[in-house]
Amino acid sequence: MLREITGFSNPLVKRVKALRDKKARRLEGLFLAEGLRILTEALDAGRTPQMLWFSPESAHHKLVQALIQATEAAGGEVFVTSPDILSKLSGKDNPGAVLGVYEEQWTPLDALDRSAAQIWIVAERLRDPGNLGTILRTGDAVGAGGLILIDDCTDPFSVEAVRASMGALFTQSISKASWPDFLTWLRQGPGQLVGTSLNTEHDYQAPRYTPPVFLLVGNESQGLPESYERDCDLLVKMPMMGKADSLNAAVATSVMAYEVLNQLRAR
Amino acid sequence: MLREITGFSNPLVKRVKALRDKKARRLEGLFLAEGLRILTEALDAGRTPQMLWFSPESAHHKLVQALIQATEAAGGEVFVTSPDILSKLSGKDNPGAVLGVYEEQWTPLDALDRSAAQIWIVAERLRDPGNLGTILRTGDAVGAGGLILIDDCTDPFSVEAVRASMGALFTQSISKASWPDFLTWLRQGPGQLVGTSLNTEHDYQAPRYTPPVFLLVGNESQGLPESYERDCDLLVKMPMMGKADSLNAAVATSVMAYEVLNQLRAR
């Protein structure tokens, strides 16, 4: 069913716009994704929005048509609206052609099949949504199974994280757990827990990684708590040739993940 | 000379705050850096601010004292002010303890000593200041000589880029050039120009890189222009195991840079 929305004061406009705030997302269990590329990635991953918004200018684009059809077929609602209202919804002056409202999907740890992938990424108190989204994007690229969020991480369903993930939010599973719960689950099966840390001299290229490898990255400014580091099977560090002692968290995770992937594909 | 600034309407407050905009930076040749960590990195690299701002709360911190002394010794001005005014200057609710106003330093291509480092990073039409700063940070980490900006890149001296660089802005040289000028300069001496691209099947681990290696990264959404790719000595790509076809630009640059570093340190 296609509806036209013309008024800024329409309650639906307010409701969708509110999803830019975490409180509203948690309350509704819904989040926003923007742009043809990301929504098409979602569709390729079998995910359709509950609501699809687009402006008349983009209605005839083939990919928009595909999104409209898939959304309607899945029982979602389709709204055509003005570029101005799309801007208001997305908070951007220059919004993408489309905007989708999706159900948040959290995968409980017990539902994760650790044998489904050789690499898993675990992030602890990650604060920056751009870093979180970028890590999801790298996770997709290295064939990781998913991202497990430990303690109080930034929301993976924020607009910034979704944007930085470039659609990987729809292909990577997302779980959250306390550290003890994660550790209990991890130790019930195979899994090498590898932390990146400044508190080691162990070069990240020295070990032979054994899948499934769980790559653990800590908070951007504080790194991992010492007690979490002690729980790791391995602590490794990247060589640092300059003045700085650390890399950006998403970069460190990605350099590590490619090292593991390179080892695995060389075997 | 220490001065106390108490009024929001003080012309100096307005002048410093204006440096958050590119126009004012270009006009003055000055930029803002915030936070004790970054300013201390700058000092370690031999750079003192023209103006140092701090709040009374942080005046007795040892590192702030060191910054005050070095700034005064170098003829800079030191201002003590309220946390509210610091917030206004930095645009953050919770500003760092200190804020410095530094001279922009651009290194002309002809002044670059390419033999001083084995890795150089070249970025083309990079749009995201966070990516640019993160690339500088990785450049420092891999021992790169500097960053060369091609065509219309985001400003390396923006508050966001400076913050993401975590001080690497002060240790990496920064140059800018048009593509023809860069290429002319490059071909006057040794240098392997390596582009990351989706338009190749050449795995990034296959080549033996020959320093000095110039790693070329393109625009976030469009990649490199085809004609620039043809000018490269090598085009390579990272394996992509998932649905997405590309990595974040700073991640791709960092994964490449660590591959080159790993090859060089294994020799």
Q: Could you tell me the mean pLDDT of each successive run of 10 residues in chain B, 267 residues long?
A: 86 94 96 94 95 92 95 96 90 80 97 97 98 98 98 96 96 97 98 95 97 97 96 97 93 98 96
Residue B33, CB-side half-sphere exposure with 13 Å CA sphere: 31
Q: Residue A250: which of B44, B143, B251 has the nearest Cβ? A: B251
Alpha-carbon separation of residue A180 from A154, A157, A177, A227, B11 (angstroms)? 20, 24, 8, 11, 54
CA gyration radius, chain B: 20
Residues of A in contact with B138 (CB under 8 A): 247-248, 251
* Chain B: closest CA distance from residue A148 (Å): 18
pLDDT of residue A170: 96
Q: Give the C-alpha separation, B157 to B154, whole Å.
A: 9
Distance CA A80, CA A61 (A): 14
Domain termination site, one of B103, B126, B155: B103
Mean pLDDT over residues A93-107, rounded?
Answer: 88
pLDDT at residue number A69 = 96
A188: phi then psi, degrees, rounded to nearest 5: -80, -5
The pLDDT score that the predictor gives to residue A263 is 98
Which class for A266: exposed (0-12), middle (13-18), buried (19 or more C-beta within 10 A)? exposed
Are B146 and B76 members of one domain? no
Cα(A49)–Cα(A71) distance, integer angstroms: 6
Please check whether residues B51 and B175 belong to one and the same domain.
no
Give the whole-number percent of chain A exceeding pLDDT 90. 87
Take residue A186 and report the two structure tokens written for it. 């991890």
Q: Residue B230 belongs to a domain with what CATH number?
A: 3.40.1280.10
Per-residue tokens: B209:
């890189």
Helix or strand (DSSP H, E) at A148: strand A146-150
Cβ–Cβ below 8 Å for A141 and B240: yes
The predicted model scores a pTM of 0.95
Backbone angles phi, psi at B124, to 5 degrees: -120, 120
Angle at B154 between CA B150 and CA B157, to 5 degrees: 105
Cα-based torsion angle of the residue sequence B208, B214, B219, B221 in order, rounded to the nearest 10 degrees: 10
Q: Kindly state whether residues B15 and B75 are assigned to the same domain.
A: yes
Residues B99 and B173 in one domain: no
Q: What pLDDT, on a 0 to 100 scale, did the predictor assign at position A97?
A: 79
Residue B90: what pLDDT?
Answer: 84
Nearest Cα residue in chain B from A38: B244
Q: Do A166 and B244 touch (CB under 8 A)?
A: yes
Structure tokens of B25? 């930076």
Domain shared by B58 and B118, yes or no: no
Does A243 contact B171 at a Cβ distance shorter than 8 Å?
Answer: yes
Angle at B196 between CA B117 and CA A126, to 5 degrees: 85
Coil, strand or helix: which one is A138? helix
Nearest to B258 among A168, A238, A250 (CB): A238
pLDDT given for residue B95 in this prediction: 67
SS3 for chain B is CEEEECCCCCHHHHHHHHCCCHHHHHHHCEEEEECHHHHHHHHHCCCCCCEEEECHHHCCCHHHHHHHHHHHHCCCEEEEECHHHHHHHHCCCCCCCEEEEEECCCCCHHHCCHHHCCEEEEEECCCCHHHHHHHHHHHHHHCCCEEEEECCCCCCCCHHHHHHHCCHHHCCEEEEECHHHHHHHHCCCCCEEEEECCCCCCECCCCCCCCCEEEEECECCCECCHHHHHHCCEEEECCCCCCCCCCCHHHHHHHHHHHHHHHHHHC
Identify which of B167, B183, B174, B173 has the alpha carbon closest to the alpha carbon of residue B153: B174
Q: Cα separations (Å) of A194 from A125, A150, A167, A228, B118? A: 17, 15, 26, 11, 30
Q: Are residues A254 and B247, on separate chains, in Cβ contact within 8 Å?
A: yes
Q: Do A242 and B142 touch (CB under 8 A)?
A: yes
Mapping DSSP to helix (H, G, I), strand (E, B) and coil, where does residue A61 land? Answer: coil
pLDDT at A7: 87
Q: Is B120 in the same domain as B229?
A: yes
Is residue A65 predicted with pLDDT exceeding 90?
Answer: yes
Share of chain A above pLDDT 70, in %: 99
Q: What CATH number is given to the structural domain containing A56? A: 3.30.1330.30
A180-234 pLDDT, tens digit each: 999 999 999 999 999 999 889 999 999 999 999 999 999 999 999 999 999 999 9
Q: Which residues of B touch chain A, with CB atoms under 8 Å apart?
A: 41, 44-45, 130, 134, 137-143, 164, 166-168, 171, 205, 238-244, 246-248, 250-251, 254-255, 258, 261-262, 265
Identify the closest residue of chain A to B133 by CA–CA distance: A248
If you average pLDDT over residues A110-124, what whole number do you get?
97
Statement to judge: residues B119 and B97 lie in one domain: no
Residue count of chain A, please give it.
267
| Statement to judge: residues A192 and A207 lie in one domain | yes
Query: Which of B40, B128, B255, B265 to mutate: most A Cβ within 10 Å?
Result: B255
Maximal CA-CA distance, chain B: 61
Q: Are A89 and A164 in contact (CB under 8 A)?
A: no
Looking at the fold, whether B76 and B177 belong to one and the same domain comes out as: no
- Within this chain, do residues B150 and B217 fall inside the same structural domain, yes or no? yes
Find how far residue A59's CA is from the centre of its chain: 28
Boundary residue ending a domain (B84, B103, B122)? B103
Which residues does residue A192 pair with via DSSP β-bridges, in sequence order?
A: A213
Residue of A nearest to B204 (CA): A262
Q: How far is A86 from chain B (nearest CA, A)?
A: 21
Say yes or no for a CB contact (<8 Å) between A134 and B261.
no
Same domain, A127 and A92: no
From chain A, the residues in CB contact with B254 under 8 A are: 247-248, 251, 254-255
Q: Looking at A78, A103, A128, which one is the last position of a domain?
A: A103
Which of A129, A131, A67 lies closest to A99, judged by CA? Answer: A67
Give residue A210's domain range.
109-266
- Please list every residue in chain B whose beta carbon sits closer than 8 Å to the beta carbon of residue A45: 243
Interface test with A, best of B147, B237, B247 (most A CBs within 10 A): B247
**Total domains, chain B:** 2
pLDDT for B96: 72
Q: How far is B69 from chain A (nearest CA, A)?
A: 22
Nearest to B143 among A138, A242, A265 (CB): A242
Cβ contact B142–A265 (<8 Å): no
Q: Residue B240 has what pLDDT?
A: 96
On whether the CB atoms of residues A59 and A80 are closer than 8 A, the answer is yes
> Side chain identity at A133, as an amino acid letter?
G
Contact predicate A171/A137, CB 8 Å: no
Which chain B residue has the Cα nearest residue A137? B247
Closest by Cβ to B239, choosing from A140, A238, A261:
A261
Residues B203 and B95 in one domain: no
The CA dihedral of B2, B7, B10, B16, to the nearest 10 degrees, is: 70
CB contact under 8 A, A251 and B142: no
> Cβ contact (<8 Å) for B239 and A255?
no
Answer yes or no: do A167 and B140 touch at CB < 8 A: no
Cβ contact (<8 Å) for B140 and A242?
Answer: yes
